[in-house]
Amino acid sequence: MSSTSSTTLALPSTVKLLLTSIDSADAAPASLTSIDRLHYVTSAVLGYAVKAGWVSSNPAAGVKLPASQKAEQIYLNFEEVESLADAAEAAGTQSDRALVLLLAYSGLRINEALALTVADVDITTRRVSVRRTWTIDAAGARKLGMPKTGERRVVPLVSFIVEELKPLLDGRTDDEYVFRAQSGQAVHDHNWRPRVWAKAVAGRASTRWV
């Protein structure tokens, strides 16, 4: 008496879920970032499936992804920077004007500038010490850390930037922040962007800025 037997390959639930979601995926266009992430996850899962002997090959390997296109870099001239700084002051205060000018002419990142204390600014030598930056930790809390480069640096300032900063330093102690909220704490960029920056850009920017 002869008998026949068949073997059914049982795919793990993770692979089944992935394949099902791909099969029933919405056909709406996805961004390049979403495509990259989906390909990475798909290839990783199928690669593991190949090693485990669940599938014979990884069809995601070697797939040519759409080339990403970098956004055009736009550089403002002196008049445009001045106009933007004026608009920032109109939306906020003189402190906001000084912040825009500092960012434009020093190369500091926004959270490096917002982490500056009075002690970091040397009016006499026209230098600013970039020692810290605001970051977000794993729990989503804001904290001070090293600059993005991992190194402290000293940045020279042009004379008119120093004049803009002087009113923010006069009568302040060394440990006070240069750019302060009404509470006396450092300005938070998540609040500053919609409160001042977005309004300044919308009010003064030409179409090539946005």
On whether the CB atoms of residues 84 and 98 are closer than 8 A, the answer is: no
Q: Tell me: pLDDT of 6 over 50.
A: no
173 beta partners: none
CB atoms within 10 A of CB 5: 4
Q: Which residues of 105-158 form beta strands (DSSP E)?
A: 121-122, 127-130, 133-136, 142-145, 153-156
Q: Tell me: pLDDT of 16 over 60.
A: no
Which tokens hold the place of 11?
Answer: 């795919």
Say what the pLDDT of residue 62 is: 80
Top pLDDT among 23 and 80 is at 80
Reported confidence tier of residue 61, pLDDT bands at 50, 70, 90? confident
What is the sign of the dihedral through the CA atoms of 148, 150, 151 and 152? Answer: positive
* 75-119 confidence digits (pLDDT tens): 888 999 999 999 999 999 999 999 999 999 999 999 999 999 999
Q: Tell me: pLDDT of 177 over 80.
A: yes
pTM to 2 decimal places: 0.65
The backbone torsions φ and ψ at residue 108, rounded to the nearest 5 degrees and listed phi first, read -70, 145
For the chain, the average pLDDT equals 83
Q: Tell me: pLDDT of 54 over 90.
A: no
Q: How far apart are CA 177 and CA 180, in angstroms?
A: 6
Name all domains of the chain by residue range, CATH numbers in brackets.
12-71 (no CATH), 78-203 (1.10.443.10)
Q: Which of 14-23, 116-125, 139-148 has the highest mean pLDDT?
A: 116-125
* 62-76 confidence digits (pLDDT tens): 888 877 666 677 788
Say what the pLDDT of residue 23 is: 52
Short-list 122, 92, 101, CA closest to 187:
92
Q: Tell me: pLDDT of 4 over 60.
A: no
Reported confidence tier of residue 5, pLDDT bands at 50, 70, 90? very low
